[in-house]
Amino acid sequence: MGKSLTQADFFWVDELAKQEKEAAYERLKGGKVELRRVNPQEAGGSRTIPGGMIHDWQGMVFIPGVKLNEALGLLQDYDHHATYYAPDVERAKIEAHDGDHFRVFMRFRRKKIVTVVLDTEQDITYYRDSPTRAHSRSSAIRIAEVENAGTAQEKEKAPGEDNGFMWRLETWWRLEERDGGVYVQNEAVSLTRDIPAVLAWLIGPYVTSIPKESVEFTLEATRRGVLGRKGR
């Protein structure tokens, strides 16, 4: 699966102090989702974008009683992501697949005061780091806001004419099989339009809370989906 990650701190919770780390793993094994927002200093720079806002969230979940390949099997089953990750993912389809590389179409539907529908093209590569570890990176190489989605008047807005709900999206997964299951980490970094004061009441809740909620939902849906597939 290509290049591997060899660092000791494979997950973000591994960077915590000993007691905090042990407590986080206990919560994970108890079914909790661990989340944190990565600030610009941790990410290695100021990361300021004129007219834009960067959102960087990491989360982890533990899936008991499963193997690494079972978790990877769900993540790579993109043709059924609209089932596993509904209602956030409305449509998904593999457009090209060559070994560990995928090109995938995904339509996201997200509602927070306003409903936003986004068509995306994702370029995804998986890497096997060891028999028990794997990671992947996904880059949204195209993002288009959809107007009048699901109607005869449906159309994609041209760049510059959209509302800036999402301009860029990078996603990383890390997985490790141990402790009788698989730990799964998801990190999503998105770029949205900065919030003009006149629109803060309308789009503020969307651009500030959706990134966190999306990572949490995605991890919970992944655990639910992997366990569901195993139980079939």
| Measured distance CA(138)–CA(169) in Å, rounded | 8
46-70 pLDDT, tens digit per residue, is: 556 666 778 899 999 999 999 999 9
- Cβ contact 188:217 at 8 Å: no
Q: What is the mean pLDDT of the chain?
A: 87
Per-residue model confidence (pLDDT) at position 5: 58
How far apart (Å, rounded) are the C-alpha atoms in residues 28 and 225? Answer: 17
- Residue ranges of domains in the chain: 12-230
- Give the up-direction half-sphere exposure of residue 161: CA atoms within 13 A in the CB hemisphere: 8
Q: How far is 167 from 88, CA to CA, in rounded Å?
A: 17
Please tell me the chain's helix, strand, coil percentages from 3-state DSSP, rounded to the nearest 5: 30, 40, 30
Architecture of domain 12-230: 2-Layer Sandwich (3.30)
Using pLDDT thresholds of 50, 70 and 90, give the confidence band for residue 2: very low
Average pLDDT over residues 32-50: 72
Average pLDDT estimate for 131-144: 96
Amino acid type, 28: L
Peptide bond into 40 cis (omega under 30): no
Chain segment 175-192, per-residue pLDDT in tens: 999 999 999 999 999 887
201: left (phi over 0), alpha (psi -120 to 50) or beta: alpha
